[in-house]
Structure 1
Amino acid sequence: MGEIRDAERTRKKILQAAKKEFFERGYHGTRIESIAKRAGVKKQLIYHYFKGKDDLINQTIADFVSAVPTENLTLPTNPVDIAEFRLEVNLNNLRDFLKFTAWEAVEELPHNVNGEEIRSKVLQSYNADMKSKQEMGLVPKELDPALITLMMSSLTIYPLLYDNVTRLITGHTLEEPEFQEKWAQFLRQISERIFERED
């Protein structure tokens, strides 16, 4: 029993080290040797638990997503609240992971080495949620649910990832609590216009 617990602890330690390396350095910048050093294990031990770098990054992302509390992935009932909610979740829970997505934008990755399957499920659930809200009459029929999801992602991720551009445009960054509040209010105003109901 102790051996199993030790093995689980070692595997978890490797995944934590891998998460830090991948999220800080991207896929190509990360080396198995660096993960081993950060985890305090021998490189060969990593290959005992994982088939290689591709397997390790997929399992790292799967482990990260499974650790995100489900309430952070469950969207509010009122579509007006979604953008503000997603901004808060991104700020409080997904910053490191979102940095990794910025690496994805500039690196050419081998197929499906970025937890694509599990991430697709989450994002497709957002599409399905928006479609369901549309069927309930909460979202205008002429708007494509997938494009709304993409828009929400853009508005709630961009200022967080691109602090410098945000500062150049607004004079502020999302690190400033006052600007966070101002941006959240702006997202609510935009959402109220998009999702306003005609009674």
Structure 2
Amino acid sequence: MTAPATSSLALDTAPDRTRDRSRTEDAILAAARDVLIEKGFGAWGVNAIARAAGCDKQLIYRYFGGLDGLAEALGTDVARAIETALSVAPSQPAASYAELVARLLDALVEVLRGNPLMQRIIAWELSEPNALTHSFAQARSRALADWIARLRGDLAPPANIDAPAINAVLIAAVQQMVLGSAATGNFAGLPLGDESDWNRVRLAIRSLAMAAYASGDPA
């Protein structure tokens, strides 16, 4: 028996509707990234994003539930970018926890330097913490924690060393150096314009990581 025309039409158009929604969601996410990079969080609102995406702002509420949901989706997208950048396993496993941390910090320098969107997000987190920036920070923290868990194996910091505090200080240093480079091309008088400048930073960060975990004796 031949199926009614309406059933056939519904089957034919359902994939199109799915593809249209996927394209619209991608366009909204791309517009959210563009507005953030080009204009900053002061202009990051539903109306501006909808204009940049060329869609009705109601679609942002329909597909993302509003700015909170869009921030969460964008935070997940940023975290995925971090995971991708950190996904290449080194040819040799780290010989120590200090080496693992040094590699993480070196990789983080490259990830942050190459991602203006992430720089904007971190700057916003520092200047105006709120529910949206919390979503971004949580997504980024998960990506870094997953990277460490994947490569850590049996490595552990020496006894009597406050690894979470030390790692937080070192990560904050990397973030601040990258933000300073983007804003002024230097930080605390240290030039950060070319690769020779950044090689100095990499060596300094590595030295600090190796020294911090050199022994288990408390400072």
TM range (shorter): 0.7 to 0.9
1:86 equivalent in alignment to 2:116: no
Q: Which residue of 1 aligns with 2:208?
A: 190
Going from structure 1 to structure 2, the CA distance change for 1:149 and 1:193 (only over 3 Å counts) comes to closer
Tell whether the 8 Å contact from 1:57 to 1:115 is kept in structure 2 after alignment: yes
Displacement of 1:116: 4.9
Going from structure 1 to structure 2, the CA distance change for 1:157 and 1:117 (only over 3 Å counts) comes to closer
* Structure 2 unaligned regions, length at least 5: 1-14
Displacement of 1:105: 1.7
Q: How does 1:102-121 map to 2 (within 5 A)?
A: 102-110=123-131, 114-121=135-142
The TM-score with structure 1 as length reference comes to 0.77
Going from structure 1 to structure 2, the CA distance change for 1:106 and 1:197 (only over 3 Å counts) comes to closer
Larger CA Rg, structure 1 vs 2: 2
Aligned equivalents of 1:131, 1:151: Cα separation in 2: 23
For residue 177 of structure 1, what is the amino acid of its counterpart?
A: E
Aligned equivalents of 1:187, 1:3: Cα separation in 2: 50
* Structure 1 unaligned regions, length at least 5: none
Displacement of 1:99: 1.9
Going from structure 1 to structure 2, the CA distance change for 1:185 and 1:62 (only over 3 Å counts) comes to same
For residue 87 of structure 1, what is the amino acid of its counterpart?
A: V
Q: Which residue of 2 aligns with 1:178?
A: 196
Q: How many residues align?
A: 192
Q: Which residue of 2 aligns with 1:143?
A: 161
Tell whether the 8 Å contact from 1:22 to 1:30 is kept in structure 2 after alignment: yes
Residue-by-residue CA offset, 1:105-162 (whole Å, 9 max, x unaligned): 222413775245433423444676779522xxxx322211211220221121111112
Q: How does 1:158-169 map to 2 (within 5 A)?
A: 158-163=176-181, 167=186, 169=188
Aligned equivalents of 1:20, 1:193: Cα separation in 2: 41
Q: Which residue of 1 aligns with 2:62?
A: 48
Q: Secondary structure at the match of 1:133?
A: coil
Residue-by-residue CA offset, 1:43-72 (whole Å, 9 max, x unaligned): 222222121111111111112222444451
Going from structure 1 to structure 2, the CA distance change for 1:7 and 1:35 (only over 3 Å counts) comes to same
Residue-by-residue CA offset, 1:17-39 (whole Å, 9 max, x unaligned): 11232455555541211101111
Residue-by-residue CA offset, 1:69-127 (whole Å, 9 max, x unaligned): 445167863334332222122223x4421321211222241377524543342344467
Aligned equivalents of 2:127, 2:22: Cα separation in 1: 34
Backbone CA RMSD of aligned residues: 3.1
For residue 5 of structure 1, what is the amino acid of its counterpart?
A: R
Identity among equivalent pairs (%): 22
Aligned equivalents of 2:38, 2:162: Cα separation in 1: 34
